[in-house]
Amino acid sequence: MSSKHPPRTPSRSAPGADARLNGPQQDAVEHGDGPLLVLAGAGSGKTRVITHRIARLVQRGVPARAIVALTFTNKAAREMRERVDALFAGEHRAATAATTISTFHAFGLAVLGREREAIGGRFTIFDQGDQTALVKQLLREEGADRAYDAGAVLARISHAKNAFLAAEDMPERDGDDYGEIAKLVLPRYQAALKRYRAFDFDDLVCEVASLWRDRDDVRARWQSEYLYVLVDEYQDTNRAQLEMLRLLSGGRRNVCAVGDDDQAIYGWRGADVRNILDFEAHFEGARVIKLEQNYRSRAPILAVANAVISKRTDVKWRKVLFTERPGGPTVRLAVAPTPEAEASWVGREVRRLIREEGRRPRDIAVLYRSNGQSRLLEEALREGGVLHRVVGGAQFFERKEVKDTLAYLKLALNLSDEIALRRILNYPARGIGEVTLERLVAHAYSSGWTLWQAVDRAEAIDGLPSAARDGCRALAKVIADARREMLVEKRMPSEVARGICEKVAFRAEIETGSPALDVAAKRWANVEGVLGTLARREGKSVAAGQGDALEGLAAFLQMLTLDVEREAEDAGDVVTLSTLHGSKGLEYAAVFLVGCEEGYLPHARTIDPRATDVVDRAGGSPASTPETGAADIEEERRLFYVGVTRAKENLVLSRARSRVLRGKAVPRTPSRFLLDIPLELLEEVAVKDDAPTSVSEAAANVEAILAMLGPAPSKPRA
């Protein structure tokens, strides 16, 4: 796709001009005083603009100590600092070192630290655990600790503080019980923080804004210290951060905000897209510069991105990304009959990219809307021997309830597996505490027994409480029954595992041990997921005539252990699985964006706030944020756009025609965002139903797994 607006090459005689900057970038760098909004499209070099602008200000004679650049993560701040330092050498580098480059919260902490006298003395910072504990205490005082999840209440409180709202200003909605309880708890929470002389994470911004608003002398001192303010990722700012910026910039209004309203995807955690859309109202006389030249993606990818984002209804400035990089493969749309077939196909394509096209695993990402979608993808990559990591959530097979379920099977297969035994010895609780465990271990050691033999023969061990003996007897029966069913009756491991869950009342234990019903439901769904995984593997093995079920189970459990260990050793060159939110700011040569269906993307809650059975809560807006409607659909559109623009060379979109919900196959509707893409921009791929692994594919998988194991140890010489 050629540019209609070729970049201007700045004159090298102009102070600060850089041939690496295109025309609009140079205009932003050379901007003088007054407010400036740089609308930086995806991959358009926004960090380059910020760092060069800092350098240009210093070259003009602005003291480096009078410049502050704010961003959202320590990683982004470090990268900005490194780039600024790289632009200078010697004397100038020492000068720029005085520039304040920081996250909003670190900057706020520095302000509060220097203004201890104004805020009443020393203070402590409450971390997430401290905050949650305080909310739990306040809920207990209200007799509401069993009815409400403290984390969800805390999220509501945080949302209100970031919006710069007092409790009385929090919106009221019919049927919003969490909103009501948060409104009740917020003033007590703030009073408790004051008693403890403590601030929470949100206060590092909110308290600074309040201090500058209420104390003219303090505000004037900071306004005279910082003459120029630069902000990265401005679309992610909340109301409290906007107030901080307005108060700090004062009458000079020397604010340079760099951001992209097309990538505003964090409304659920308090970011307000109106901050960037209303920039000219907040900072009168602002200049707006658009960066539309993309340096990341091939033209076919940008064509898809432009088609989707052009349908935004809340847009103020239209941006059309273009590139000077010609060519590139057509974006593919894979349509599979089931999510299992979709995941298997994605797994095969990932392996093909690595084996046939020479892609490094680290250059490949599989993106999805919610963490719950990762399980089938993890399975597909594991089966193919592809190393991977999960960003933004625990890997499915590392979740506690999944590991607990598998530990029962591991122990039934191998009574000497002490790790598995220790994991489930008293889970669910059966009266076997730490003291009993120590006695069992001591007796096993002195008698030459395994730990399992000690459990199985607990009746013969003196000094054990009767409750502990009963617990050991109950566990021994569960494991003995499971071994008989698998080894003698030849029942499928998935059936045996389900029976174990019923015998030990696993679901009841999960419900009792979870902070809220929706959390318990999600955890139990994970157990159902692993049982379904076992059943599918058994079905494939039987269809392909590949050995008996026990051999398949043992190999599967070994592969899980191997994969986890290998990932820990070699986390650098692995395929990335991530939620779309977790992929923000990253880029990959090849991207698979899966689950492009109504109910997934856009998320079910943005279509119908009552929908809870299609996708999980993870990876999206928290349970404490019930607002839905057109604004949320537009944020989902921007999220889709973010996923598309992570790709540099290859982009694959995929969806399933049907999914099983509550035991029934339900037809799935393509995402409305797919329908916004002209047909000529997509190459549709019809994925066949998941079939038994072919001989050649099985051989390739075995080869990959053996490669993961490494060379066999040499035999010692006689």
- Concatenated DSSP letters of 163-178: TT--GGGS---TT-HH
At 589, the amino acid letter reads A
User: Could you confirm whether 47 is annotated as catalytic?
Assistant: yes
- Catalytic residue among 232, 404, 456, 634, which? 232
End-to-end, the C-alpha distance of the chain in Å comes to: 68
Which of the following is catalytic: 103, 131, 263, 293? 263
Contact 643, 583 (CB under 8 A): yes
Catalytic residue chosen out of the listed positions 18, 30, 47, 348? 47
CA–CA gap between residue 251 and residue 243 (Å, rounded): 14
Q: Give the burial class of 449: count Cβ atoms within 10 A of its Cβ; 0-12 exposed, 13-18 middle, 19 or more buried.
A: middle
Per-residue H/E/C for 322-383: ECCCCCCCCEEEEEECCHHHHHHHHHHHHHHHHHCCCCCHHHEEEEECCHHHHHHHHHHHHH
Instruction: Write down the catalytic residue from 25, 26, 46, 404.
Output: 46
Q: Among this protein's residues, is 664 annotated catalytic?
A: no
Annotated active-site residue 598? The verdict is no
The rounded distance, in Å, linking the Cα atoms of 19 and 290 is 19
Instruction: Point out the catalytic residue in the list 233, 236, 340, 456.
Output: 233
Is residue 531 within a helix (H) or strand (E), and if so which, with residue range? helix 517-544
Task: Please give the biggest Cα pair distance in the chain.
Answer: 92
Residues in the chain: 718
Pairing of strands 228-231, 198-199: unpaired
Alpha-helix runs per DSSP H in 97-170: 104-114, 116-119, 128-141, 150-162
Got the DSSP string for 212-226? HHH-HHHHHHHHHH-
Our answer to whether residue 612 is catalytic in this structure is no
Q: Cβ(293)–Cβ(258) under 8 Å? A: no
Strand partners, 36: 256, 287
Say how far apart CA 141 and CA 161 lie, in whole Å: 22
Q: Among this protein's residues, is 298 annotated catalytic?
A: no
Q: Quickly tell me which residue has 């959202």 as its tokens.
A: 72
The span from the CA of 452 to the CA of 472, in Å, is 10
Pure H helices in 590-694: 604-607, 630-644, 672-675
| Structure token pair of residue 73 | 């993560």
Please name which of 156, 209, 210 lies closest in space to residue 183, comparing C-alpha atoms: 156
DSSP per-residue string spanning 236-305: G--HHHHHHHHHHHTTT--EEEEE-GGG---GGGT--THHHHTHHHHSTT-EEEEE-B-SSS-HHHHHHH
* Residue 106 CB burial class (10 angstroms; 0-12, 13-18, ≥19): middle
Q: Residue 487 gets which letter from DSSP? A: I
Distance of alpha carbon 23 from alpha carbon 394, whole angstroms: 44
| 46 part of the active site | yes
- Which active-site residues does the annotation give? 46-47, 232-233, 263, 646
